[in-house]
Structure 1
Amino acid sequence: MTTAGSGLLILRNSRSGTAVIRTDPAELFSERLPAARVHELGEGEDLADVVDAAFAGGDAPTALGIYGGDGSVSRMAGLARQHGVPLLVMPGGTFNHFARSAGLEDVETAVEAYLARDTVEVSAMEVREGEGEPVLALNAASVGAYPELIEERDTRRRRLGKWLGGIVAAWRTMRTAEPLDVIRDGRRARVWSVFVGVGTNDPKRVATMQRENLEDPVLDIRIHHARGTRLRAIASLAFGKRTAAVLRAVRVMPEKRDVERLLETGFAMTVRPGPGRPEVWVHDGELEEPLGEEFTLHFTVIPAALTVFAPRPR
């Protein structure tokens, strides 16, 4: 009797990637990982509660697996780090930024890495709002135009779907976005956005939502100063290299002098949204609503934060 998948707890978030047609991985799990425990998250069921209950039982998992989008992957990464077990990441969302950075383009590739016991030590960052509890982020965190766009998209998601809702949100944000003030090291700056990403990234990009390597223990910070138009502010959110290249060719992307880049192991800023502006920030695609109108975010890089099953670099 095969024991492939023994000790592995897989959680499936069926609500991830609702705008993307995907093959149900249930048959693959049954064939390749017959001894794994697979749990489908129900409506209103909290991922952390399921994992904590599994570790409280007599047969604690030796590895965690997640089939979902970047938000679910990020939360499961925090739990894997907390419990000291490796993480199996299987892309099941819309963008799958982290999975793609790890070379996990599909579920089959992830399962192959797990069965071969191929792993990589992944750096991450902790983000703490004020004196609150830190959250683990794998890709990036941001304030400004991107969180505002995400909030607009989420208000239209149920009625229009994620993709169409995103287009409408981008159009509305392009007409209504306003700069905000951030304070760092006692200095105030008027900005369209600030992105704090994990690991060094393409110096030509502003929105560094997908990291280019997994192990680099550094924060790559992009501060887009508000010296250009709203159009340039929204164009700066182009995530794909091809899209960014096209926008740069037609001179829509922000001027190089408008984007300040910092490489740090720790970073802090106080955010002051303008009157009537959304008081939100985002990490790995997940919106957070601060407790006050003004809030301070602390970022700290965590070298080798967790072990992830992934193809070994060639």
Structure 2
Amino acid sequence: MGDHRTFKYGLFLLAGAAALGVSGNRRARRAALRGAGSMALASAACAATGASAAGPAATAAAFTAGVALESPRLGAVLAPVVAGVAAARSRNGSQGFGRVLTGVAVGAGVAGATCRWWPLYRDEPADTARPVIAVPALPAGRGLVLVVNGDAGGDTPAEVELRSLLPEADLRLCAAGDDLQTVFDRAVKDVLTDGGALGVAGGDGTVNTAATLAAENGLPLAVFPAGTLNHFAADLGLPTLASAAEAVEAGHGGAVDLGRVSGAGSHTYFLNTFSIGVYPELVRAREARESRLGKWPALCTGLVRVLAEGTPNEVTVDGKRRLVWLLFAGNSRYDPPGFAPSYRRSLDDGLLDLRIVDGSHPFARTRLVAAFLTGTLTRSRVYQATTATRIEIGGVGEEGDYSRDGEVSPASDELVVDKLARALTVYLPVPQ
């Protein structure tokens, strides 16, 4: 009977998770995934320990607590579910209040435990992304040359919204078949001639192209989140097109660091991350599953697949020979530690966030997966994390490519990764 009731309650809660998941709200989707995952773990824990009678209370509490961790408001709305299940079970003569309370405690504990390997997302902008530099205030977007990286032909949803938000901006749609670099070069030339600011609406790779040109030409950059992940815009505190438009009209700005990769006499730049080894493959594997599973479950399955199929790279790091699964460098320090750096508390700390997975230890890949799954990665000998202002990497060209801001570039044999302090001027959110 207990298993049947747990199953019935589980179906009800999964329906709630599905409703949240298709709501279109990112916080609600994260809440749905954590709630459903917590519920599944709580149900498995009750079954494994023979405490199936506590299953309904445990699953209801796990789901509600998981949702509340990501969205306290949604958690408050769902709290009566736990109270109702607890009351219904305690009225059953075979289920005392103490046993029901134990189920609630187990469920809430399981939800809390997920934070150990599935950290909570931080929505706030980086603490130092605050207005400290004067940038042009552009009412209605007058003086803004805004490049929109659109889909094939016709108006994109981003373009339509931007024309409404900033009717006097010079919007330039880069459609399928257009050369993005050429569109940006013309936009930069016009801003240099007429004054104003350069704007970009697209994903992190497109923003990287715009940021490079803006920094090289001393132009302020307005970033509009119109890609899939929009990591840089999120850290700036600009989660929506409307918030970015408000910043442009108000003229609030600041300066952030740029990461730089030098090799064979040329330079490339990164706003977010640089990596060699299996990390680019891990990102692709995670993103292929993320829409279905959520970031952290997708990362777990992607990690197992990539490590099973990949091999470590032999390189030198600051002159020392290393066998590495991956080397990651973040533009400023990232949180949380591990394989899925998600946000930064500062965008101008002058540091590279270095994370290396060593492939020379016995059973390195097995120990790595075990440490990740148990939430002990930061204490594992195969994982190393530190900060630096500059690193020299040798032997990369023999192993293949490197990734920066999600874009793959061919590597020369010797690379230098360092920082350009406060090299990029950007529009920042209006203080509330």
Relative to the length of structure 2, the TM-score reads 0.58
SS at structure 1 position matched to 2:334? coil
1:70 aligns with 2:204: yes
Counterpart of 1:309, as a letter, is: Y
Quick one: distance in 1 between partners of 2:277 and 2:212? Answer: 25
C-alpha displacement at 1:175, in angstroms? 2.2
Please give the alpha-carbon distance, in whole angstroms, between the structure 2 residues aligned to 1:153 and 1:282.
15
The amino acid across from 1:290 in the alignment is A
Q: Which whole-Å CA distance do the structure 2 matches of 1:101 and 1:147 have between them?
A: 21
* Residue 290, structure 1, aligned to residue 426, structure 2: no
Give the secondary-structure state (helix, strand or coil) at the position aligned to 2:215. Answer: helix
2:388 aligns to what?
264
Is the 1:7–1:62 contact (alpha carbons within 8 Å) kept by the matching residues of 2? yes
CA distance in 2, matches of 1:181, 1:205: 21
Matched residue SS, 2:411: coil
Q: Deviations over 1:76-103 (max 9, x none)?
A: 1001112211111111112111111111
Deviation at 1:46, TM superposition (A): 2.6
2-structure distance, mates of 1:24, 1:234: 41
> Of 45, 51, 73, which residue of structure 1 is paired with 2:178?
45
Cα deviation, residue 263, structure 1: 1.9
For residues 83-162 of structure 1, what are the structure 2 equivalents within 5 Å? 83-128=217-262, 130-149=263-282
* d(CA) in 1 for partners of 2:416, 2:381: 26
Q: Secondary structure at the match of 1:38?
A: strand
Tell me: CA distance 1:174–1:304, structure 2 relative to 1, closer, same or farther (3 Å). same
- Displacement after TM superposition at 1:51 (Å): 2.4
Alignment of 1:210-225 (within 5 A): 210-225=343-358
Q: Which amino acid aligns with 1:83?
A: N
- The one-letter amino acid of 1:13's match is N
Please state whether the residue corresponding to 1:78 is helix, strand or coil.
Answer: helix
Question: Structure 1 pair 55/190, CA: closer, same or farther in 2 (3 Å)?
Answer: closer
For structure 1, which segment, 202-211 or 97-106, has the greater mean C-alpha deviation from structure 2 after superposition?
A: 202-211
Change (3 A) 1:234 1:287: farther
Letter of the structure 1 residue corresponding to residue 168 of structure 2: A
Structure 2 CA distance for partners of 1:55 and 1:120, relative to 1, 3 Å: closer
Counterpart-to-counterpart distance in 2, 1:268 and 1:98? 25
| CA offsets 1:139-158 (integer angstroms, 9 cap, x no match) | 1100011123457799xx8x
What whole-Å deviation, never above 9, does each CA across 1:204-241 have from its counterpart, x for those lacking one? 334436433212111111111123544665799xxxxx
For residue 296 of structure 1, what is the amino acid of its counterpart? E
Matched, 1:208 2:344: no
Q: Secondary structure at the match of 1:134?
A: strand
Question: Structure 1, residues 250-282: CA drift from partner, whole Å, max 9, x if none?
Answer: x5x4643322233222111113588xxx61210
Shift of 1:44: 3.3
- The structure 1 segments of at least 4 consecutive aligned residues displaced by more than 4 Å after TM superposition are 150-154, 161-164, 166-172, 231-236
The equivalent residue for 2:332 is 199
- Relative distance call for 1:213 and 1:46 in structure 2 (3 A) is farther
The answer (yes or no) to whether the contact 1:146–1:193 under 8 Å persists in 2 is: yes
Letter in 1 for 2:389: T
CA–CA separation in structure 2 for the residues paired with 1:50 and 1:261: 39
Structure richer in helix, relative to its length: 2
Q: Hey, what's the Cα distance between the residues in 2 that align with 1:98 and 1:284?
A: 9
Q: How far, CA to CA, are the matches of 1:272 and 1:172 in structure 2? A: 23
The letter of the residue matching 1:29 is L
Q: Deviations over 1:146-193 (max 9, x none)?
A: 123457799xx8xxx9957x9697664242011111202321111111
Give 1 or 2: higher strand fraction.
Answer: 1
Instruction: Work out whether residues 181 and 273 of structure 1, in 8 Å CA contact, stay in contact via their aligned partners in 2.
Output: no
Determine whether 1:181 maps to 2:314: yes
**Residue-pair matches, total:** 284
Letter in 2 for 1:80: A
In structure 2, the CA distance between the partners of 1:94 and 1:55, relative to structure 1 (3 Å rule), is closer
> Deviations 1:15-51 (Å, cap 9, x if unpaired)?
49xxxxxx81334322331111111112232322122
Task: Classify 1:260/1:38 alpha carbon distance in 2 versus 1 (closer, same or farther; 3 Å).
Answer: same
Query: Residues 140 and 208 of structure 1 are in contact (CA less than 8 Å); yes or no, is this contact kept in structure 2?
Result: no
2-structure distance, mates of 1:313, 1:123: 21
1:54 match: secondary structure = helix
SS at 1:25's partner residue?
Answer: helix
| Whole-angstrom CA distance in 2 between matches of 1:127 and 1:273 | 14
- Percentage identity across aligned positions? 33
Q: CA separation of 1:312/1:177 partners in 2, compared to 1, >3 Å: closer, same or farther?
A: farther
Where 1:287 maps in the other structure, the secondary structure is: strand
Q: State whether residues 201 and 212 of structure 1, in contact with CA within 8 Å, keep that contact through their aligned partners in structure 2.
A: yes
RMSD: 3.4
Report SS of the residue matched to 1:105.
coil
Give the TM-score taking structure 1 as reference length: 0.77
Name stretches of at least 5 consecutive residues in structure 2 with no aligned partner. Answer: 1-137
Instruction: Describe the SS at the equivalent of 2:281.
Output: helix
Contact kept, 8 Å, 2:396 with 2:414, in 1: the verdict is no
* Alignment gaps of 5+ in structure 1: 17-22, 237-243
